[in-house]
Amino acid sequence: CEKWGLSIGVMVFILYRPYILFWICASELTFELPDNAKQCFYEDIIIGTKCTLEFQVVTGGHYDVDCRLEDPDGMVLYKEMKKQYDSFTFTASRNGTFKFCFSNEFSTFTHKTVYFDFQVGDDPPLFPNENRVTALTQMESACVSIHEALKSVIDYQTHFRLREAQGRSRAEDLNTRVAFWSIGEAFILLVVSISQVLLLRSFFSDKKTTTTRVGS
């Protein structure tokens, strides 16, 4: 269903959950993208298949990344520079291996944590005869409604987890900045206090005078 191109040195963590249901293939992945690095993934897709690529930068720098999607012939289907998050839907025009890459080459010292969700194909029918001409029974309609509601719950949970991780990262970064600023202020206050004490002591210190007698 999937073929990922993972380069050495990239740490994959947090979440990796492939789904394979009949003709649908969906994958969620959160990975760390180092500075000055580019990471590509590959997916074999059949012609006429509807696909959706969604990504979001969770942590790092200004929370932006370059994204590029190419078909098997190398034609660019999607290209965005320094995006925090985005979603792109397309239909495969030919059979083959599609490639999508995330680039952090514009960053010199900040690594990023990127999440993406790549869905290939449509959801299979909940019941084998769901697409029949006759209407669904009350039980089947209720099952379909519950199924759709649960999918929405999963999507909301995923986005809330991403927002929570992003907020936590910003809070930790802000806490670090405040700590360093406080240390700097304390050091400056110490230097100023010592300087004032030395200056006041110089005002009130007794100066020794030297008397010289000149003989007549």
Regarding the domain delimited by 26-122, which CATH topology (the fold level of the hierarchy) does it fall under? Jelly Rolls (2.60.120)
Tokens of 196: 């004032």
Residue 17: pLDDT band with limits 50, 70, 90: very low
Residue 155 φ then ψ, to 5°: -65, -45
| Residue 68 buriedness (CB in 10 A; 0-12 / 13-18 / 19+) | middle
Task: Report DSSP letters for 31-50, one per residue.
Answer: EEE-TT-EEEEEEEE-TT-E
For 126, other C-beta atoms within 10 Å of its C-beta total: 13
pLDDT digits (tens, 9 = 90+) for 70-115: 999 989 999 999 998 899 999 998 899 999 999 998 888 888 889 9
Cα separation of 194 and 182, whole Å?
A: 18
**How much is the pLDDT for 6?**
38
- Reference 101, options 42, 148, 17, 184; nearest CA is 42
For 180, other C-beta atoms within 10 Å of its C-beta total: 10
Domain ranges of the chain: 26-122, 136-202
Residue 207: pLDDT band with limits 50, 70, 90: low
Q: Which residue has the higher pLDDT, 10 or 57?
A: 57
79 three-class SS:
strand
